[in-house]
Amino acid sequence: MFAVIKTGGKQYRVAANDLLKIEKVEANVGDIVEIGHVLAHGEGENVTFGAPFVDGALVTAEVVEQGKNRTVIAFKKRRRQNSRRKIGHRQLLTTVRIAEILLGGAKPAKKAAVKAEAKAEVAAEAKAEAAPKEAKAKKEAAPKAEVTAETAVAPLFKAPKGEPDDLTVIKGIGPVAAKDLNEQGIITFAQLAKLTDKDVAKIDEHMPFSADQIKDWREQAKELAKK
């Protein structure tokens, strides 16, 4: 049996055990998610269509992985105006494995429910074991939490001493992007020019800039740093 589902504004034809990449679903790996927007279902030539959705139809899927799609570059240039804009986008994706196609208001198999109950039992047992140690852990937890908070807000790079450069001189870096870079410790043309591919990957992972954007800025910064 197959079904046609709608999720993330897109339609997919799926069957049991199919592996599928859809737009991000808020769930942890191993969780069972339900997709209630079933447009059609059938087997062979016998197909039932909804209006727009089939009443009582439901598709369940197990979350296999949370990740990102490849970077898509949008580039715009105006003739004779010395104006260009380059923006990168990486869509968040969730990989799921289709578990069941349910019709007529049928409920998901007990296997999924048992799995959820097992998780709850494990969590309850862990909480019960941790309870006697809670009083002792409170004294150590506060300093550790402070260190973690400081680490979380630490910039990606160490800013050098001296006057910062105006990064907005580089094409593609506006006031907002310059502010974000300054907050992460990048304040001079020389720093941008000396970024390694590893540094570029770090910025790509933690900041809303694509690797291609950063490499373009790096090449421009090399010329500006010579002046």
Work out the burial of residue 99: count CB atoms within 10 Å of its CB; fewer than 13 is exposed, 13-18 middle, 19 or more buried: buried
* pLDDT above 80 (res 216): yes
* pLDDT above 70 (res 137): no
* pLDDT above 60 (res 116): no
Given this model, what pLDDT does residue 95 score? Answer: 94
Of 5-19, 66-80, 114-128, 179-193, least confident by mean pLDDT is 114-128
Q: List, in order of start, the domains of the chain with CATH numbers.
A: 2-104 (no CATH), 167-226 (1.10.150)
Tokens found for residue 70: 């490849």
pTM tops 0.95 = no
* pLDDT above 70 (res 142): no
For 78-109, the pLDDT digits (tens) are 877 778 888 888 899 999 999 999 988 888 87
Decide which of 117 and 18 is more confident.
18
In this prediction, residue 147 has a pLDDT band, given cuts at 50, 70 and 90, of very low
Q: Can you tell me the distance from the alpha carbon of 62 to that of 17, in angstroms, rounded to the nearest whole number?
A: 10
Decide which of 198 and 136 is more confident.
198
Mean pLDDT of the chain: 82
Contact 21, 95 (CB under 8 A): yes
Q: Which of 72, 67, 100 is nearest to 86 (CA)?
A: 72
